Structure 1
Amino acid sequence: MNHYPAIFEPLTIRRMTLKNRIVMPPMGTNFAAMDGSFVQDHIDYYVQRAKGGTGLITVENVCLDFPMGTNGTTQLRMDNDQFIPGLFRLTEALHSYGACVSVQINHAGASAYAGRLNGAQPVSSSNIPSKKGGAIPRPLQKEEIYAIVRKYGEAAGRAQRAGFDCVEIHAGHSYLLSQFLSPMYNKRTDEFGGSPENRARFARLVIDEIRSVVGPFFPICLRFSAEEFTEGGNTLEDTLELLEYLNDEVDILNVSAALNDSIQFQIDGMNLPDGWRSYMAKAVKEKFGKVTMTSGNIRSPQAAQEILERGDADLLAMGRGLIAEPNWVVKVQNGYEHLLRKCISCNIGCADHRISKSKPICCTVNPDLFKEAEYRKQRVKNGINVVVIGGGTAGMEAACTAAEVGCKVTLFEEKAELGGLARDIARLPDKTRINDFPDYLIQRTKQLTNLNIVTGTRADLAMITALNPDIIVNATGATPLLPPIAGLHEQLGKPGTKVFSIFDLLHNLEKFREFEGKRIAVVGGGAVGLDVVEYYAERGAEEVSIIEMMPLLGKDLDMITRISMMKMVEERKVNVHTETALTEVCSDRFKVKHGEQEFEIPFDLGFVCLGMRPHSPLMDSLLEYGKEHQVEVVNIGDSKQARRIIDGTREGRNILKTIQRVDAFKNEFSFSY
Structure 2
Amino acid sequence: MKNNYPHLFQPYTIRNMTVKNRIVMMPMGSDLAGHNGQMSDEHIKYYEQRARGGVGLILVENICVTFPQGSNGATQLRIDHDCYIPRLYTLAEVCHRHGSCVGIQLNHAGASAMSSRTGMQPVSASNIPSKEGGEIPRKLTKVELFSIAQDYGVAAQRAVNAGFDLVEIHAGHSYLISQFLSPLMNDRTDEFGGSVENRARFCRLVIDEVRKAVGPKVPISLRLSVDELVEGGNTLEDCLEYLEYLSDEVDLFNTSAGLNQSIQYQIDANYLKDGWRSYMAKAVRDKFNKPTIAMGNIRDPKIADDIIARGDADFIGLGRGLIADPDWCVKARYGDVSDIRKCISCNIGCVGNRIGGNKPIRCSVNPDVVYGEQYKKTKVTKPCSVVVVGGGTAGLEAACTAAEVGCNVTLLEKEAEVGGLSVQISKIPAKTRLGDFPRYLKHRASKLDHLNIVTDTEATVEKIRCYKPDLVINATGSVPLLPPIEGLHENLNNPNAKVYSIKDMIENLGHYPEDLTGKKVAVVGGGAVGLDVMEFFAPRGAEVTIIEMMGVIGNGLDASTSSSMNECMNKHHVRKMVHTALTKVNADSFEVKYGETEETIPFDYGFVCLGMKAYASIWDEIQQAFDGEDVEVLNIGDSVRARRIIDGVDAGRHLVLSTLDRLGFR
Which range, TM-score by smaller chain? over 0.9
Find the aligned partners of 2:449 and 2:208 in 1 and give their Cα distance: 60
Deviates more, 1:365-374 or 1:131-140: 131-140
Give the corresponding residue for 2:551: 551
Give the corresponding residue for 1:587: 587
CA contact (8 A) 1:625 1:631 kept: no
What is the deviation of 1:236? 0.7
Give the corresponding residue for 2:353: 353
Question: What secondary structure, in the 3-state scheme, does the structure 1 residue paired with 2:411 have?
Answer: strand
TM-score (normalised: structure 1): 0.97
Give the corresponding residue for 2:131: 131
What is the deviation of 1:137? 1.2
Find the aligned partners of 2:537 and 2:143 in 1 and give their Cα distance: 55
Give the corresponding residue for 1:604: 604
What is the deviation of 1:583? 1.3
The answer to whether structure 1 residue 519 and structure 2 residue 543 are counterparts is: no
The answer to whether structure 1 residue 35 and structure 2 residue 54 are counterparts is: no
Q: Letter of the 1:147 partner, please give it.
A: S
Give the corresponding residue for 1:284: 284
The answer to whether structure 1 residue 183 and structure 2 residue 206 are counterparts is: no
CA contact (8 A) 2:473 2:633 kept: yes
Question: What secondary structure, in the 3-state scheme, does the structure 2 residue paired with 1:479 have?
Answer: strand
Give the corresponding residue for 2:564: 564
CA contact (8 A) 2:261 2:563 kept: no
Find the aligned partners of 1:532 and 1:212 in 2 and give their Cα distance: 54
Find the aligned partners of 1:116 and 1:610 in 2 and give their Cα distance: 36
What is the deviation of 1:514? 6.1
CA contact (8 A) 2:263 2:559 kept: no
Find the aligned partners of 2:22 and 2:436 in 1 and give their Cα distance: 23
CA contact (8 A) 1:391 1:413 kept: yes
Find the aligned partners of 1:583 and 1:91 in 2 and give their Cα distance: 61
Give the corresponding residue for 1:251: 251
Deviation per residue, 1:265-320 (Å, 9 max, x gap): 10111000011111111111111010111111010011101111121111111011
Give the corresponding residue for 2:75: 74
Find the aligned partners of 1:116 and 1:574 in 2 and give their Cα distance: 36
What is the deviation of 1:515? 4.6
Find the aligned partners of 1:507 and 1:356 in 2 and give their Cα distance: 36
Deviation per residue, 1:78-101 (Å, 9 max, x gap): 111111111100000000000000
Give the corresponding residue for 1:457: 457
Give the corresponding residue for 2:25: 24
CA contact (8 A) 1:480 1:612 kept: yes
Q: Letter of the 2:328 partner, please give it.
A: W
Deviation per residue, 1:354-375 (Å, 9 max, x gap): 0121111100000001111110
The answer to whether structure 1 residue 108 and structure 2 residue 109 are counterparts is: yes
Report how many aligned residue pairs link the two structures: 663
Q: Letter of the 1:484 partner, please give it.
A: P
Give the corresponding residue for 1:498: 498
Deviation per residue, 1:104-124 (Å, 9 max, x gap): 011111112323422x22211
Report 1:533-544 matches (<5 A): 533-541=534-542, 543-544=543-544
Q: Letter of the 1:480 partner, please give it.
A: P
**Sequence identity of aligned pairs in percent?**
58
What is the deviation of 1:37? 0.7
The answer to whether structure 1 residue 331 and structure 2 residue 331 are counterparts is: yes
TM-score (normalised: structure 2): 0.98
What is the deviation of 1:525? 0.9
Find the aligned partners of 2:370 and 2:262 in 1 and give their Cα distance: 31
The answer to whether structure 1 residue 5 and structure 2 residue 22 are counterparts is: no
Find the aligned partners of 1:580 and 1:486 in 2 and give their Cα distance: 16
Find the aligned partners of 2:514 and 2:130 in 1 and give their Cα distance: 42
Question: What secondary structure, in the 3-state scheme, does the structure 1 residue paired with 2:341 have?
Answer: coil
CA contact (8 A) 1:384 1:663 kept: no
The answer to whether structure 1 residue 507 and structure 2 residue 507 are counterparts is: yes
Report 1:337-376 matches (<5 A): 337-376=337-376
Deviation per residue, 1:352-400 (Å, 9 max, x gap): 1101211111000000011111100110111111000110000000000
What is the deviation of 1:20? 0.5
CA contact (8 A) 1:515 1:536 kept: no
Find the aligned partners of 1:584 and 1:185 in 2 and give their Cα distance: 48
Q: Letter of the 1:111 partner, please give it.
A: S
Find the aligned partners of 2:100 and 2:473 in 1 and give their Cα distance: 40
Give the corresponding residue for 2:448: 448
Find the aligned partners of 1:198 and 1:102 in 2 and give their Cα distance: 29
What is the deviation of 1:618? 0.4
Q: Letter of the 1:613 partner, please give it.
A: K
Find the aligned partners of 1:195 and 1:604 in 2 and give their Cα distance: 52
CA contact (8 A) 2:392 2:418 kept: yes
Deviation per residue, 1:54-89 (Å, 9 max, x gap): 000011011111111111111111111111111100
Question: What secondary structure, in the 3-state scheme, does the structure 2 residue paired with 1:538 have?
Answer: helix
Report 1:281-430 matches (<5 A): 281-430=281-430
Question: What secondary structure, in the 3-state scheme, does the structure 1 residue paired with 2:540 have?
Answer: coil
CA contact (8 A) 1:73 1:113 kept: no
What is the deviation of 1:650? 0.4
Q: Letter of the 1:298 partner, please give it.
A: I
Give the corresponding residue for 1:90: 91
What is the deviation of 1:510? 2.7
Find the aligned partners of 2:484 and 2:514 in 1 and give their Cα distance: 30
Deviation per residue, 1:31-55 (Å, 9 max, x gap): 1011111111000000000000000
Q: Letter of the 1:123 partner, please give it.
A: V
Q: Letter of the 1:24 partner, please give it.
A: M
CA contact (8 A) 2:3 2:334 kept: no
CA contact (8 A) 1:521 1:606 kept: yes
Q: Letter of the 2:433 partner, please give it.
A: R
Find the aligned partners of 2:224 and 2:566 in 1 and give their Cα distance: 26
Q: CA RMSD in A?
A: 1.2
Find the aligned partners of 2:117 and 2:606 in 1 and give their Cα distance: 49
Find the aligned partners of 2:124 and 2:545 in 1 and give their Cα distance: 41
Give the corresponding residue for 1:227: 227
Find the aligned partners of 2:135 and 2:541 in 1 and give their Cα distance: 39
Give the corresponding residue for 2:529: 528
Give the corresponding residue for 1:671: none
Q: Letter of the 1:251 partner, please give it.
A: D
What is the deviation of 1:2? 4.1
Question: What secondary structure, in the 3-state scheme, does the structure 2 residue paired with 1:641 have?
Answer: coil
Find the aligned partners of 1:32 and 1:562 in 2 and give their Cα distance: 27
What is the deviation of 1:581? 1.2
Deviates more, 1:240-249 or 1:581-590: 581-590
Q: Letter of the 1:65 partner, please give it.
A: T
Deviation per residue, 1:224-255 (Å, 9 max, x gap): 11111122211111110000000011100111
CA contact (8 A) 2:496 2:587 kept: no
Deviation per residue, 1:617-636 (Å, 9 max, x gap): 00111111221323111111
Find the aligned partners of 2:145 and 2:360 in 1 and give their Cα distance: 32
Q: Letter of the 1:7 partner, please give it.
A: L
Find the aligned partners of 1:362 and 1:440 in 2 and give their Cα distance: 19
Give the corresponding residue for 2:140: 140
Find the aligned partners of 1:521 and 1:583 in 2 and give their Cα distance: 14
Find the aligned partners of 1:496 and 1:461 in 2 and give their Cα distance: 40
Give the corresponding residue for 1:630: 630
Deviation per residue, 1:417-474 (Å, 9 max, x gap): 1110111110100000000100110110011011000011111111001111111111
Deviation per residue, 1:327-346 (Å, 9 max, x gap): 00000111221110000111
Give the corresponding residue for 1:616: 616
CA contact (8 A) 1:352 1:558 kept: yes
The answer to whether structure 1 residue 437 and structure 2 residue 424 are counterparts is: no
Find the aligned partners of 1:266 and 1:372 in 2 and give their Cα distance: 26
Deviation per residue, 1:583-602 (Å, 9 max, x gap): 11111111111222222111
Question: What secondary structure, in the 3-state scheme, does the structure 2 residue paired with 1:660 have?
Answer: helix
Question: What secondary structure, in the 3-state scheme, does the structure 1 residue paired with 2:421 have?
Answer: helix
Q: Letter of the 1:38 partner, please give it.
A: M
Find the aligned partners of 1:122 and 1:527 in 2 and give their Cα distance: 33
Question: What secondary structure, in the 3-state scheme, does the structure 1 residue paired with 2:529 have?
Answer: helix
Report 1:448-487 matches (<5 A): 448-487=448-487
Find the aligned partners of 1:127 and 1:575 in 2 and give their Cα distance: 33
